[in-house]
Amino acid sequence: MRRTDDSRERWRIAPIHALFAAAMLGLLVMPIAFAGAKSPDARSSVSPKAQIKSLKKRVAALEKKAAPTAPETLPPSGPAGGILQGSYPNPSGLTVGSVGASEIVDGSVGQAEVGAQSVGAGELGSTYERVSGGTAVAAGTAGEATSSCNPGDKVLGGGYAWAQDAATNTVFSTPNVSGGGFDNPDQWGVRAESNTDNTLFAWAVCISA
């Protein structure tokens, strides 16, 4: 009889343990189910922290690329380069020929930018004159003569003359451009007439390039 009672006691306890085990299993399964479920609107994406980190790296790379190269020593020392002469920290100035026509905008240098007596013959190209061949002009008609500078040189001024002293009339006496247009003239042109048969000459004052 006693053994039977023990058997009954075990049968009373067994259902309680089974329920407890089932409850524990349910607690383990539910988080797994919830973790696997996604709402219809859920989307996978990189975390904001990772995005910010990536953006910082890109900004740092751009700043490094745009930043000027810093001197190795402060104040700078050693030989100057580029258009400067001498050594740092007190380079002496621009090298000879470092500034030319391509570095100066047309009309940017005027009287205000040039010191008194700072430009002399040594700073200017040499000048010379060119006289045209004579152009025969019949009495009462107009003829033309043109004097040209050397290739690449420019005309500074000019004029004309007749071989014979006579009554004359000048139509024009002006700078001229051999290639057409009005900029950088390299010739001096004259058109005039005489009341007698005559010979017309033109001359140009030129400056070397």
* Residue 161 located in a structural domain: yes
Q: Is residue 138 part of a domain?
A: yes
| Peptide bond before residue 175 is cis, with ω within 30 degrees of 0 | no
Q: Indicate the number of domains in the chain.
A: 1
Phi, psi for residue 64 in degrees, rounded to 5: -65, -35
Identity of the residue numbered 8: R
Give residue 65's identity as a one-letter amino acid code.
K
Give me the domain span that covers residue 157: 127-207
Q: Is residue 28 assigned to a domain?
A: no
Residue 10's pLDDT band, with cuts at 50, 70 and 90, is very low
- Give 172's contacts (C-beta < 8 A, 6+ positions apart): 189, 190, 191
In three-state secondary structure terms, 96 is coil
Confidence (pLDDT) at 165: 92
Residue 107 lies in a domain: no
Give domain status of residue 69, yes or no.
Answer: no
Q: What is the dihedral of CA 139, 142, 145, 146, to 10 degrees?
A: 170
Angle among Cα 170, 173, 179 to the nearest 5 degrees reads: 135
> Is the residue at 91 inside a domain?
no
Q: List pLDDT tens digits, range 22-73.
A: 545 454 444 444 444 444 444 555 677 787 888 888 887 777 666 556 566 7
**Section 95-119 average pLDDT:** 72
Q: Encode pLDDT of 121-176 as tens digits.
A: 666 778 999 999 999 999 999 999 999 999 989 999 999 999 999 999 999 999 99
Mean pLDDT of 79-106: 74
How far, in whole angstroms, is CA 60 from its chain's centroid?
25
25 domain residue, yes or no: no
- Confirm whether 61 is domain-assigned: no
Q: Is the pLDDT of residue 190 over 90?
A: yes
E strand or H helix at 129? strand 127-131
